[in-house]
Structures are given as structure tokens and as C-alpha cells.
Amino acid sequence: MFIKPPVTNLLIRVSQSGFYRGFSKDVTITAKILVGALILWAIAFPENAASVLGQLNTLILAGFNYWYIYAMAFFVILCCAMALWPKVGKLRLGRREDVPEYSNFSWISMMFGAGIGIGMLTFATAEPMYHFAKNPSTIMGVTEGGTIGNIRDAYIWSFLHWGFAAWGCYSVVGLALAFHAYRRGLPLTIRSSLAPLFGEKLSGKIGHSIDVIAVVATVLGVSQTLGYGVEQFISGLSTIGFGDWLYSVDEEGVKSTSTVGIIFALLVIMGGATLSALSGVGKGIKWLSNTNMILSFFVLTFFLIFGATFFGLSNFFVGIWDYATSLPGNIFTVWTADGTEVGDALSDWQGGWTIFYYAWWIAFAPFVGVFLAKISKGRSIREYIFGAMIVPSLICFIWFALVGGTAIDLELSNVANGLINNAALSDKLFVMLDVMLGDAAAYFMSVIIVILLLTYLITSADSAVLIINTINAAGDDGPKARLHIIFWGIALAMVVGGLIVAGGLSAIKTAMVIGALPFSFVMVLMGISLIVAISGDLRRKKYGLQTIYADEEDTV
């Protein structure tokens, strides 16, 4: 029986000399122009940029809510199906003799640090508290906000946003790339994952467009993460006594981060990130990721011992059960505005939380996906999904249960007396430490949190810079492109700073949601392409044909 062989040769034209040696000019220059135009627009015309971005954001959230919800459900179902299907799960991402390059600890540390590490410090305290006050159950009148009866629902939605949906979309991108890079010998770049659908057409404009979309989405997705991180980093610096210059107060008495504070934080973060990126994945990023995980375990252990231990652990185990049993329904639920008070409120809530998060994860996915693929060679598909989707989700859950649970318990018991509740998003963790501990102990833990924030921010930023360069270089991480690394480090800082100037974190949020939409279509195609590729390999294996093409000597 004749089975068409897969695409194993994808020619991507790269420059052979000059400043862009080793890089695809079609991708690199186009991406630089688009990102540069966004920076100039945000800085030169901040009011116009904020207005236009806001209008586009409203249209997308209202018009593509079904698309985002069903796309994320598709990613979760696809990952679970591949892990549970025995013949698929045991397929190796590489040749038979390939073994993982990194230990399980370093592997998971790098995945978590690059994927969602910063979010744990910002949202593990804040999000359970927000949903404790208001969530779909309170909107529909099933539970009452701010009461014990609303705790379980608060964790259902927190876990939905930070669990399988987030890590499932990352996993699909990483798996599609790793499969085609290590089993087909194709370049480790976004376009390669669509080879079963578009074939050699990806060598031209179609492929260039896909990689440009991935680069722009990465810049905006990482900027969203850095934006939240910068705000909390400045809050931490203020907490440990760096001075009032980090904040400014307008004529109406509203306090906000100062321009000087933002510039200082970005210089520290992106300076460290650029130096780390220049050292590569195996050195700076690996060392920082291991440091992140060790410090994270220290912070978790602190909350396990000194926080609301029983309350937090109860939230963890009960929350996992509630999340698992509600997932089949919640992952497909879409609320649309219907003119009623409840219907409109549910639609607004889902747009502001679930759809926003899903867009964030999708914008972040090209960066995390390429990074996952780079560090996952030699692992089986089942092992990869377990390590890339299940384990990080559980780590997120324990963070939310212990840290967020402690905050809720302090408010329920009136110990905090509204201090945590009323604090700004970036301040909640530091305020909680101050409520829990004496001055000296709170100061010590705040210093640890600031260090952890800085290492997470640097890890995310330096990984993103390297991944952007890898995509621009047609999947080759070999070119010693120091100037390009420096350029993208500066560009990321300028995007974050420019958009914050244009409209604060909301401007970054709206730009990210807009940038995520085109890549969401690419991601769905990646999932379909992966199904086609794996089905083809199973058929080839059935008839004794070659399935691994990374080396011509490799066979079934």
C-alpha cells in the first residue's frame, strides 16, 4: 500500500552575509517594523493608541468569545487524547537513541519559569480573592460573595484559568514543533508544524507570514506578563524601602507607578535578561530557572507552615475535585449578552476574565511552545504531556490554594480587616505578609519575593528574546546574534514602557488580546496538523515503513 511520505525538507531562505547573516530577512525585518510601529504609535500618540486599541479589544471580546472558548477546549481534549492513546503516547520526540538533555527537575523548572512563574506571585493571592467576592455563581444568585459558601466556586474558576487550558495550549504548540523538528528533521520554527497541511508552500510567503504572526504575538504576550511583573516589582521595591520616587500622585490624589520607576525597573529586568540570553539556554536560563524553583518551594513551604495550612490544603484537594468534575461543562460554556441583567453580567465577567486569560495564554504560546520543544527532545509524547500540562497545573493549584487561601482566611477571620481586599493587585501579596508577620519577618519575606520576582521576570524575558531570535533565524539557534538579542531586549522594554505610558496595564492587555487573535487560528491549524502527522506515522508503522526522518538511517 502506498502512503505518501511526509515533508522532510523545508527550505527557508536566510541571509548569507552582513548584519542579518543566518536570519530570514522576510521575517525579521517585517516583525521589527510592526513592533517598532507599535512602539512609536504608543509613545507619540498615546491617547489615540489607547482609544483604537480599546475599540478593537471590545470587538474581539464580543465577536470571538465562542472561538476562544472552543479553541482552548480543543487543545485540552487533544492533549488528553494523545496521552491516553497507548500507540500515540509512547511515540518518542526524536530518534530511538535520543535521551532527554535535562533532568526532570531542571526540565519542569524551566517550563514553569518560562510559562507562568510570574503569575503565581501576582495572581495566586489576588485571583481567588476576586472570585471569592464575585464569580458566575454569585452573579446567578447561587452563592453569596465574600462568604464561606462561595469559596469552592472561587477555586473552580481560578483553577479553570490557570490549569489545563493554559498549559494545554502551550503543550500543543511545543508538541507540534518538537514532533516535526525531531521526527521529521524540519527547522524548529512555527511554520514547520503546519507542514502536513501546507507542505513546501511554507518556504514562501505563507510561512513567512506565520512566523511574523508568532513573533508579534510573542512580543505582546510577554509584554503583558512583564507589565504585571514590573508593577509588582516596583511595589516590592517600595515595600523594602527603595523610596517614594517609585510612585507619583496626580492632582486628584490617585497613586500610580512613576515613569522613573518604570524605566528603572525595565532597565534592571531587561538588562539582566539580555545578559542571560547572551549566555544561552544551558547556562543562564537553566541556572535562573533552578533558582526560581528553589525559591518558589521556599515561599510555598513558608505558607504551608505559617499560612492557613489546613484551610489551604482543603482548598487544594476539594478544589481539584470540583475543577475536574466541573471542567467538562465549564470548558464549553459561553455566555453572551442577551439584554438581561444576569446575562449581560455573565458575558462581561467572562470577557474580562476567561476570554482575557485565554487570549493571554495564546499570545504567550509561540514563545513557551518553542521553548518547550527546545528542551524536550528525547521524551515520549505521554511523558511530555504529563510534564508540560499536568505537573505545572498542579503546581499552579497548590500556589493558589495555599497563598490565596491564606489571604481569604485572613479576611474571613477579620485579622486583615479589609487591608488585603482593598490593596491594589500588585500590592496584595506584600500587604498579606505585613498582616501575617512582624515588621522584621515581613521585610525578610518581602526581600525574598522581590528576588523571586526579578529572577522570574528575567527568565521569561531572556527566554522570549532567544525564542524570537530562533524563529527569525528559521529555527536555528546557532547564529551568535548579539546585536539582535540586544535589539529585542530593548524592544520588549519599549513595548512595555510605551503601552504603560499610553494607557497603563489596560493598554498592554488590549494590545495583547488583539495580537493573540491571528495566532489562535495558527494554533488550531497546528493541532489539526499534529493529528494528521501522528495518524500518518501510525499508518506507516503498521506497514513497516519509516517513521523517523531526522536521520535517513533511522527507521521504524
Domains of the chain: 28-198+207-542 (1.20.1740)
pLDDT score for 454:
86
Least confident interval from 232-241, 283-292, 314-323, 395-404? 283-292
- Look up residue 258 and give its DSSP letter: -
The pLDDT of residue 283 is above 60: no
Query: Are residues 259 and 43 in contact, defined by beta-carbon separation less than 8 angstroms?
Result: no
- What would the pLDDT profile of 59-98 be if each residue is shown by its tens digit? 887 788 899 999 999 999 999 999 999 899 989 998 888 8
Question: Nearest to residue 406, comparing CAs of 377, 385, 387, 433?
Answer: 433
Query: Are residues 83 and 386 in contact, defined by beta-carbon separation less than 8 angstroms?
Result: yes
Helix (H, G, I), strand (E, B) or coil at 247: strand
Grid cell digits, residue 190: 512555527
Residue type, 213: I
Cα end-to-end distance, the chain, whole Å: 17
Question: Nearest to residue 118, comparing CAs of 14, 280, 239, 265?
Answer: 265
pLDDT score for 114:
61
Helix (H, G, I), strand (E, B) or coil at 484: helix
Characterise 380 by phi-psi region: left (phi > 0), alpha (psi -120 to 50), beta (else).
beta
pLDDT score for 435:
92
Grid cell digits, residue 329: 461543562
pLDDT score for 253:
66
Question: Nearest to residue 83, comparing CAs of 185, 166, 168?
Answer: 168
- What would the pLDDT profile of 487-513 be if each residue is shown by its tens digit? 888 888 888 877 776 666 677 777 788
The pLDDT of residue 539 is above 50: yes
Q: Report how far Cα 251 is from the mean position of its chain's Cα atoms.
A: 37
pLDDT score for 364:
84
Bridge partners of 15, per DSSP, are 21
pLDDT score for 556:
37
Element (H, E) at 485: helix 482-542
Query: Are residues 528 and 197 in contact, defined by beta-carbon separation less than 8 angstroms?
Result: yes
Question: Nearest to residue 447, comparing CAs of 462, 459, 429?
Answer: 429
Element (H, E) at 429: helix 428-436
pLDDT score for 552:
45
What CA–CA distance (Å, rounded) separates 261 from 279? 28
Name the pTM for this structure. 0.89
Grid cell digits, residue 246: 517609585
The residue that leads in pLDDT, 283 or 377, is 377
pLDDT score for 115:
59
- What would the pLDDT profile of 362-397 be if each residue is shown by its tens digit? 988 888 888 889 888 999 999 999 988 998 899 889
The pLDDT of residue 176 is above 90: yes
pLDDT score for 110:
73
SS3 labels along 24-73: CHHHHHHHHHHHHHHHHHHHHCHHHHHHHHHHHHHHHHHHCHHHHHHHHH
- What would the pLDDT profile of 243-261 be if each residue is shown by its tens digit? 788 887 776 767 777 878 8
Buried b (16+ CB within 10 A) or exposed e, 445-480: bbeebbebbbbbbbbbbbbbbbbbbbbbbbbbeebe
The pLDDT of residue 40 is above 90: no
pLDDT score for 503:
65
Place of cell 530557572: 289
Grid cell digits, residue 533: 502527522
The pLDDT of residue 445 is above 60: yes
Least confident interval from 157-171, 255-269, 494-508? 494-508
SS3 labels along 308-357: CHHHHHHHHHHHHHHHHHHHHHHCCCCCCCCCCHHHHHHHHHHHHHHHHH
pLDDT score for 286:
65
Query: Are residues 396 and 116 in contact, defined by beta-carbon separation less than 8 angstroms?
Result: yes
Where residue 553 falls among pLDDT bands split at 50, 70, 90?
very low
Query: Are residues 489 and 202 in contact, defined by beta-carbon separation less than 8 angstroms?
Result: no
Buried b (16+ CB within 10 A) or exposed e, 62-99: eebbebbbebbbbbbebbeebbeeeebbebbbbeeebe
φ, ψ for residue 338, nearest 5 deg: -125, 10
Helix (H, G, I), strand (E, B) or coil at 263: helix
Residue type, 407: A
Query: Are residues 155 and 401 in contact, defined by beta-carbon separation less than 8 angstroms?
Result: yes
The residue that leads in pLDDT, 295 or 319, is 319
Question: Nearest to residue 366, comparing CAs of 164, 205, 521?
Answer: 521
Over residues 266-276, the mean pLDDT reads: 79
Place of cell 497546528: 526
φ, ψ for residue 257, nearest 5 deg: -65, 140
Over residues 545-552, the mean pLDDT reads: 72
Place of cell 500590592: 427
- What would the pLDDT profile of 100-121 be if each residue is shown by its tens digit? 888 887 787 777 666 566 777 8
Residue type, 466: L
Grid cell digits, residue 164: 489545563
Return all residues near 489 (Cβ < 8 A) that are at least 6 apart: 270, 273, 274, 277, 461, 465
- What would the pLDDT profile of 394-423 be if each residue is shown by its tens digit? 988 999 999 999 999 999 998 988 899 988
Grid cell digits, residue 93: 520526540
The residue that leads in pLDDT, 130 or 493, is 130
pLDDT score for 380:
92
Where residue 223 falls among pLDDT bands split at 50, 70, 90?
confident
pLDDT score for 505:
67
The residue that leads in pLDDT, 336 or 270, is 336
In 183-280, which ranges are continuous DSSP H helix?
A: 195-198, 205-239, 259-279
What CA–CA distance (Å, rounded) separates 165 from 119? 15
Other beta carbons within 10 angstroms of residue 250's beta carbon come to 8
